Amino acid sequence: MHSDLVISGARTPEGDLVDIAIRGATISAVSAAGTAGPAEQRLDAAGWLVAPSFVEGHIHLDKTLLGLPFIPHIPGDTVAARIAAEKQLRRTVPMSIEERGARLIEQIAAFGTGSLRSHVDIDTEIGLAGLHQLLKLKARFAHLVDIQIVAFPQSGIMADPGTADLLDAALAEGADLVGGLDPAGIDRDVTGHLDTVFSLAVKHGAGIDIHLHDGGTLGAFELRQIAERTLANGFQGKVAVSHAFALGDIDDFEFGRTSELLARADVAIMTNGPGPVPMPPVMRLAAAGVTVFAGSDNIRDAWAPYGNGDLLQRAMLIGYRQGFLADEDVAHAFAMVTAIPAGVLGLDGYGIAPGKQADLVLLPMASVPEAVATVPTRRTVIKRGRIVGGAGNF
Amino acid sequence: MHSDLVISGARTPEGDLVDIAIRGATISAVSAAGTAGPAEQRLDAAGWLVAPSFVEGHIHLDKTLLGLPFIPHIPGDTVAARIAAEKQLRRTVPMSIEERGARLIEQIAAFGTGSLRSHVDIDTEIGLAGLHQLLKLKARFAHLVDIQIVAFPQSGIMADPGTADLLDAALAEGADLVGGLDPAGIDRDVTGHLDTVFSLAVKHGAGIDIHLHDGGTLGAFELRQIAERTLANGFQGKVAVSHAFALGDIDDFEFGRTSELLARADVAIMTNGPGPVPMPPVMRLAAAGVTVFAGSDNIRDAWAPYGNGDLLQRAMLIGYRQGFLADEDVAHAFAMVTAIPAGVLGLDGYGIAPGKQADLVLLPMASVPEAVATVPTRRTVIKRGRIVGGAGNF
């Protein structure tokens, strides 16, 4: 039986030169280079590295300002001040969330991202309007990316009364996870905030992904509170905490007891390799049994002018920031944008093997460490068995 | 009189749309867009941003492994261990310094770098062989880049007896500056090391650029020792310290007295926006009157697999690392790879004005902050009045 597509002569992350046969949206066979049977279409990989598509662990499709002329950053010293500045801006932006989000999806798909978890602001001003536009994007771009949506209370839950009901409605209308935000720093009610988030998650059988910027021992306390609730609700493997700067900013005793609890509760940590603030120590957390995955976070939005959504560049940035130099460490940074977030997002059929989804990215490199260190701009991207993009160049 | 080249319709960093007329290697006129006279060749900038060429403040042309297959990093926990690992590697690398350095020069010139300061290892094993190859590169690539060479005692001066004489010979044979390396951490003799470096500089009328990784109060002490010798020798404006991690790792009292002395002695600080170690606080130093400029440092070498020499990406990295968000701060990161290092390197004729050297880079962006935040790969590069490169893509 003919394949629909054969990718011939690609190098796997393990170093093997293989042919990858694809039928429909699925990998049907992986065999030694030169041995694949007939196919409707052949793509000569010429020895390029093949990897499963990048998995974006944290993005805000509703926040990006891509497609608009460059907008100078509006300063704000605190998270609260920046939330206010962002709200002010979004009232005046002359382009819909759907249009801006579409630009971002097209850009990151060209870089090789095949799946993503996007947060979407839910508050009493915007209501579910952002969610509705993300749901449209999810359907419209199903050929390019698989989208998971977190209902994110960017203005707090207790601090913006009415938000809990909106989160409830968002989960009923198609959000996949419930979010949270600085239970102490923004809502000033750790118990109330987390009780609300967990009860919504339990009600809807939804996962949880909480933004936590609170630092030091306060942030560590909140992490332990989250882990304890995760265990109490049997939610192991369904909870993530994004940023968790506190893990890079506490002493050994605090780190030890916090990481032990996070590992036991199987709470995953998302990091974007932040610039000016403390970063969770990736390898130390991994050694403690804590899953750490990566995401782009802000991409040209009210929070920061930086970012392009290229997860290969993000892996480089994380490796650079963490001082990953040896091949196995650099390869770990690559895993943080591929296999590790695929596990956190619960993606079925992720990987390069028969029966797996044919979501692949080809890079003109000889190995994973070389790809991360070099960040080549040339790519070939395959989604659901179709060649959907070339260079992520712009 | 005809111009040789007119760049028409380019946007300056100040936002003006201009024509730039060039005769020979020199800018002959800058006028409102559409007003330039006849020229042998015209380049339609189509509104792209024009900037003076990037100035690389710190690179190691002799260390890069570009051109070779990717070589896994050889670990080493201390600076001394990594120096040993690098020496081991360089004995076996099957490609000359000149060949590898040529690859790097071609790569960075395509990104828009027009001038650079390169360190070259001087020690009792390699002697002046690296310097001789860099001098060849300097002549061979004079059409692409202006090269300034620092004779760099990578294995120490007191720790590798005989090196002082080699540095002396290097300065006699064409090195422009004398380097130094961790007077405490490597040479364990702050006084002996600095006395040697400064006496060589005085003897040859050469500038100084010292690598300083030593952290905390020790590094701060060494910085003050350098500043005091700079004042005592009347070397204000001729001394730079590269890395100076200590400035990111000391209390307010130490920072205050150290930055005050650095400012008074006009000692400049070079940072590459390091990943896992403390970074000198750029704006706080600027406020104290200390010049901080940028460089790429390691590019695919025995020290790190990262780096591509794109100074626009480096400006982004520095801005990201320092939390520069507002336009004026992001623009400062751009100045750290353009006007500021041009001043430190003492480049004559740098800038966009009649009489200045026609060393320019064109970027498909509307403003400097947008360029830094976006890091577009497309470029047009002009060196000495000639179009020498297009996209820095690879």
Two structure tokens written together for B89: 């590697």
> Closest residue of A to B323, CA-based?
A276
Closest to A70 (Cβ–Cβ): which among B275, B321, B367?
A: B367
Closest to A326 (Cβ–Cβ): which among B72, B308, B326?
A: B72
Predicted confidence (pLDDT) at residue B389 exceeds the cutoff of 90: no
Question: How does residue B392 score in pLDDT terms, banded at 50, 70 and 90?
Answer: very low
Q: What is the pLDDT at residue B391?
A: 54
Q: What is the pLDDT at residue A373?
A: 98
> Distance between CA B368 and CA B333 in Å, rounded?
10
Phi, psi (deg, nearest 5) at residue B76: -165, 125
Phi, psi (deg, nearest 5) at residue B267: -90, 125
Residues in chain A with CB shorter than 8 Å from the CB of B308 are 374-375
Dihedral sign computed on CA atoms, order B127, B130, B133, B139: negative
Q: What is the pLDDT at residue A391?
A: 54
Phi, psi (deg, nearest 5) at residue A28: -100, -25
**Inter-chain CB pairs, A–B, below 8 Å:** 95
Q: What is the mean pLDDT of residues A262-272?
A: 98
Residue keyed to tokens 């962002």: A86
Two structure tokens written together for A95: 């382009």
State how far Cα A392 lies from the chain centre.
18
Residues in chain A with CB shorter than 8 Å from the CB of B325 are 73, 75, 304-305
A113: closest CA among A315, A354, A321, A368?
Answer: A315
Per 3-state DSSP, chain A is made up of helix, strand and coil in percentages (nearest 5) of: 35, 25, 40
Predicted confidence (pLDDT) at residue A235 exceeds the cutoff of 50: yes
> Distance between CA A336 and CA A294 in Å, rounded?
5
> Distance between CA B32 and CA B21 in Å, rounded?
11
Asked if B275's CB is within 8 angstroms of A321's CB, the reply is yes
Q: What angle do CA A373, A375, A376 make, to 5 degrees?
A: 130
Average model confidence (pLDDT) for chain A?
Answer: 96
Asked if B326's CB is within 8 angstroms of A73's CB, the reply is yes
Measured in angstroms, the CA of B80 and the nearest CA of chain A are apart by 16
Q: What is the pLDDT at residue B393?
A: 35
Look at domain B3-52+349-389 and name its CATH class: mainly beta
Q: Where in chain B is the domain with CATH 2.30.40.10?
A: 3-52+349-389
B30: enclosing H helix or E strand: strand B26-32
Residue B208, Ramachandran bin (φ over 0: left; ψ between -120 and 50: alpha; else beta): beta
B381 in Cβ contact with B112 (< 8 Å):
yes
The one-letter code for the residue type at B114 is: G
Asked if A366's CB is within 8 angstroms of B69's CB, the reply is yes
Q: What is the mean pLDDT of residues B57-80?
A: 93
| Residue of B58, B119, B193, B243 marked catalytic | B243
Output DSSP code: residue A48.
-
Q: Which residues contact A392 (CB under 8 A, 6 or more apart)?
A: A107, A110, A111, A112, A310, A377, A379, A381
CATH number for A3-52+350-389: choose from 3.90.550.10, 2.30.40.10, 2.40.37.10, 3.40.50.1820: 2.30.40.10
Q: What is the pLDDT at residue A394?
A: 32
A296-324 tens-digit pLDDT: 999 999 999 999 999 999 999 999 999 99
Q: Where does chain A show beta strands of DSSP type E? A: 3-11, 17-23, 26-32, 39-44, 49-52, 54-59, 113-121, 146-152, 177-181, 207-212, 239-243, 267-271, 292-294, 360-363, 380-383, 386-389
Predicted confidence (pLDDT) at residue B394 exceeds the cutoff of 50: no
Q: In sequence order, what DSSP letters do the residues of A159-213 get, joined into one string?
A: SSTTHHHHHHHHHHTT--EEEEE-TTTTTS-HHHHHHHHHHHHHHHT-EEEEEE-
Asked if B375's CB is within 8 angstroms of A327's CB, the reply is no
Q: Where in chain A is the domain with CATH 2.30.40.10?
A: 3-52+350-389
Predicted confidence (pLDDT) at residue A343 exceeds the cutoff of 50: yes
A53: closest CA among A342, A345, A374, A369?
Answer: A342
Q: Which residues contact B130 (CB under 8 A, 6 or more apart)?
A: B62, B97, B120, B121, B122
> Distance between CA A185 and CA A78 in Å, rounded?
10
Q: Provide the 10 A C-beta neighbour count for residue A336.
A: 28
Question: What are the angstrom distances between the C-alpha of B281 and each of A60, B54, B258, B288?
Answer: 29, 22, 13, 11
Residues in chain B with CB shorter than 8 Å from the CB of A370 are 70, 305
First vs last Cα of chain B: how many Å apart? 39
Measured in angstroms, the CA of A93 and the nearest CA of chain B are apart by 18
Q: Which residues contact B9 (CB under 8 A, 6 or more apart)?
A: B17, B18, B19, B33, B34, B44, B45, B46, B47
Residues in chain A with CB shorter than 8 Å from the CB of B320 are 275, 306, 317
CATH number for B54-344: choose from 3.90.1660.10, 3.90.650.10, 3.20.20.140, 1.10.1040.10: 3.20.20.140
Q: Where in chain B is the domain with CATH 3.20.20.140?
A: 54-344
Q: Which residues of A are catalytic?
A: 243
Asked if A275's CB is within 8 angstroms of B366's CB, the reply is no
Output DSSP code: residue B247.
G
Measured in angstroms, the CA of B157 and the nearest CA of chain A are apart by 27
A348-357 tens-digit pLDDT: 999 999 999 9
Two structure tokens written together for B259: 């930055």
Q: What is the pLDDT at residue A77?
A: 83
Question: How does residue B366 score in pLDDT terms, banded at 50, 70 and 90?
Answer: very high
Q: In sequence order, what DSSP letters do the residues of A296-309 get, joined into one string?
A: -B-SSSSS-S----
> Closest residue of A to B330, CA-based?
A305
Residues in chain B with CB shorter than 8 Å from the CB of A308 are 374-375
B97-139 tens-digit pLDDT: 999 999 999 999 999 999 999 999 999 999 999 999 999 999 9
A367 in Cβ contact with A47 (< 8 Å):
no
> Distance between CA B207 and CA A77 in Å, rounded?
41
> Distance between CA A28 and CA A35 in Å, rounded?
13
Asked if B393's CB is within 8 angstroms of A393's CB, the reply is yes
Closest to B366 (Cβ–Cβ): which among A69, A304, A321?
A: A69
Two structure tokens written together for B199: 């006496």
> Distance between CA B352 and CA B243 in Å, rounded?
30
B272 in Cβ contact with B249 (< 8 Å):
no
Average model confidence (pLDDT) for chain B?
Answer: 96
Question: How does residue B76 score in pLDDT terms, banded at 50, 70 and 90?
Answer: confident
Predicted confidence (pLDDT) at residue B1 exceeds the cutoff of 80: no
- Grouping H, G, I as helix, E, B as strand and the rest as coil, residue B293 is strand
Measured in angstroms, the CA of A217 and the nearest CA of chain B are apart by 21
B325-365 tens-digit pLDDT: 999 999 999 999 999 999 999 999 999 999 999 999 999 99
Radius of gyration of chain A (CA): 21
Mutation site, A49, A68, A71, A73, interface B, largest B CB count within 10 A: A73
Residues in chain B with CB shorter than 8 Å from the CB of A367 are 70
Measured in angstroms, the CA of A64 and the nearest CA of chain B are apart by 13
- Grouping H, G, I as helix, E, B as strand and the rest as coil, residue B208 is strand
- Grouping H, G, I as helix, E, B as strand and the rest as coil, residue A13 is coil
Measured in angstroms, the CA of B370 and the nearest CA of chain A are apart by 6
Q: What is the pLDDT at residue B80?
A: 86
Asked if B327's CB is within 8 angstroms of A73's CB, the reply is yes
A82-138 tens-digit pLDDT: 899 999 999 999 999 999 999 999 999 999 999 999 999 999 999 999 999 999 999
A169-222 tens-digit pLDDT: 999 999 999 999 999 999 999 999 999 999 999 999 999 999 999 999 999 999
